[in-house]
Amino acid sequence: MVNWLLPVAMFPKTFTNFFFENMAQIAFPIFLIFVLVKLYLQPALVNELVPERRTLQIWGAMAGIQFILFGWQVIRHNESIHTYGLLHGWMAFVQLLIIIWAAYAVQKVFIRDGIDVEKFIRSLVVTLAVYLVFVVVPQLLVTLHLPFTGWTNALAGLFERHWADRSWYDDGSYVATINRVNGFEPEAPFLVMLLGLVFSPVLIGIVHEPILRRLRIGRQLQYMTWFLMVLLTFVFLSVRASSGYMMLALLGFFTVISAPRKHRKIWLSIMAAGVVAVIAAYMVVPFVHDLLDRWIFNKSGTDNRLGGTIGLAKTFLSHPFLGVGFGNEGYFIEQYLPEWSKHNSEYINVYSKMAYPVLNDMLGWLARYGAVVVLSGLWLLGGLVVRAVRAYQNILQDERPVASYYRIALRSFTIMVPLTLIVSCITQINAFSWPMLLMYFFYWRVIHLAEESN
C-alpha cells in the first residue's frame, strides 16, 4: 500500500462543505481503510498510533484556547460573514488536528524500514510522471489551442477542486475557462506549490545521490528524474503565474547549494545557461516576451494580495501572543485593509462577502495562532533539521542501497524546510493538503529510521 499513498492524495476535489476540506476529499476514507487493513494484519501497531500524553495535552490546550478565542471574539464582535463562526470554526480546527493525526498514522504504519522508504520515493517519481503526462501536459496543450479540451474537461469533472462562487470553471474546467494550467488544483498557484514543495525537493535529492549511478535500477530512476526536472522547468515557465517563476528560481538556488561540492560548478553553469536562455527567449520570442511581461514585469491585480498581507500583519501586531483564533482572522483583515485595496472587482464581488482568505501563510499562522504557537513550531522544526543533518552525516559513507534512499530523503527534507518557509512568507502554500502532510511525516519517519540504522 505504500506505493498508493501519494497517488490517492493527488485528488483534492471536495464532495461536501460539511467537513473540513481534507475530510471532504476522497483520500480521507481511503487512508482510513488502508490503516484499518494494516492494523487488522498487524494488531500490535495499534499501540504505536496512540499519541503520547504530552502530545494530547498540547492538542487539548490548543483546542481549548481556540474555543476561548472564538467565544471571546463572538462576544466582542458578534457573528460575522467574515469569520467561520463559533461552532463551525472550532469544529474545523478540531478536524484539522484529526487530519494531522491521520497523516501521522498513515506514515507511522506504512513507513517501517528502508524498503518502505525506497518504495515511497519510487512511487513519488512515478506519481509525478503520470500526473504530468496525463493531466498537466494536456492542459498545456489546451493553452496552445490544441484540441485536448474534451480530455481535460472530462478529468476536471471527476477530480478538479473548485472554489465556490467563482466563474473560473464555467467552460468545463479551469484551463478551458481562463487558459491557465492548474492540474486538479483550484487554481494555478496551488499547482505550483504542489509541484515545487512536494515533488521537487525529492527530485533534487535523487540527482545528487552518487550511489544510484552504480545501480541499474538507480540509473533508471535518475534518468527519469532528469526528464521530470526538465518537464517541470517548462511547466513552471508556462503555468502563467508569478509564483511559478519564483519557485523555479528558488529551486535552482537550492539545487546548486545542496549539490556535492565537486559538482556545484557544473550545476551553477547549468543554471546560468538556463538564465541566459530565458533572457534570449524574452528578447527574441514574442510569446515569451508577452508572457514574462504580463506575469512578472507588468503584473497587475496585486491589490488584494498586498492589502491582505498588510491586514494580516496588523492583525498579528494587535494580538501578538495567542493570535485571534482559527477562522477569526477574516474579520480583522477586513478592519485593517487599506482603503486603496478595496476598489477592485474581486474584492467587491467576492472577498467583501466572505471571510477574507489568508493570502500569506506565515502571517496567517501568526495572526491565527500567535507568536507562542508559531515560534514553538519553528523551534521543533529546527530540531528536526538538526537531527536530519546529523543522521545524514552519520550515513554519508554508507554504500548500502538502503542508505542511499535515506540520504535522498534527508537531503530533500533540508531543502523542503527552508523552501517552504521562504515561500510561506510570500504567498499561500496549501500547507495542510494531503500531499504536504504525507511528506512532512514521511521525512519525520525517515529521520527516525536513519538514526536507528547506525
Inter-residue contact 74 to 86 (CB < 8 Å):
yes
Q: How would you label 410-438 residue by residue, b for 16+ Cβ within 10 Å and e otherwise?
A: bbbbbbbbebbeebbebbbbbbbbbbbbb
Structural domain boundaries enclosing 145: 2-258+359-453
Q: Taking residues 383-406, report their average pLDDT.
A: 93
pLDDT band at 438 (very low <50, low <70, confident <90, very high): very high
Q: Does residue 162 lie in a domain region?
A: yes
Q: Does residue 28 lie in a domain region?
A: yes
pLDDT band at 33 (very low <50, low <70, confident <90, very high): very high
pTM of the model: 0.94
Q: Does residue 289 lie in a domain region?
A: no
pLDDT at 379 over 80: yes
Selection from 195, 247, 192, 211 nearest residue 422 by Cα? 247
Q: What tens digit of pLDDT does each residue of 296-355 get?
A: 777 766 788 899 999 999 999 999 999 998 888 888 998 899 999 888 888 888 888 877
Q: What tens digit of pLDDT does each residue of 98-121 get?
A: 999 999 999 999 999 999 999 999
Q: Does residue 284 lie in a domain region?
A: no
Q: Does residue 69 lie in a domain region?
A: yes
Q: Does residue 31 lie in a domain region?
A: yes
pLDDT at 78: 67
Q: Does residue 273 lie in a domain region?
A: no
- Compute the mean pLDDT over every residue in the chain, rounded to the nearest whole number: 90
pLDDT at 79 over 80: no
Instruction: Say what the alpha-carbon torsion angle 140, 145, 150, 155 is, to the nearest 10 degrees.
Output: 20
pLDDT at 85: 67
pLDDT at 226 over 90: yes
Q: Taking residues 446-454, report their average pLDDT.
A: 91
Number of domains in the chain: 1
Q: Does residue 158 lie in a domain region?
A: yes
Q: What tens digit of pLDDT does each residue of 245-281 get?
A: 999 999 999 999 999 888 888 888 988 888 888 888 8
Selection from 15, 450, 389 nearest residue 442 by Cα? 450
pLDDT at 70 over 80: no
pLDDT band at 80 (very low <50, low <70, confident <90, very high): low
pLDDT at 86 over 70: no
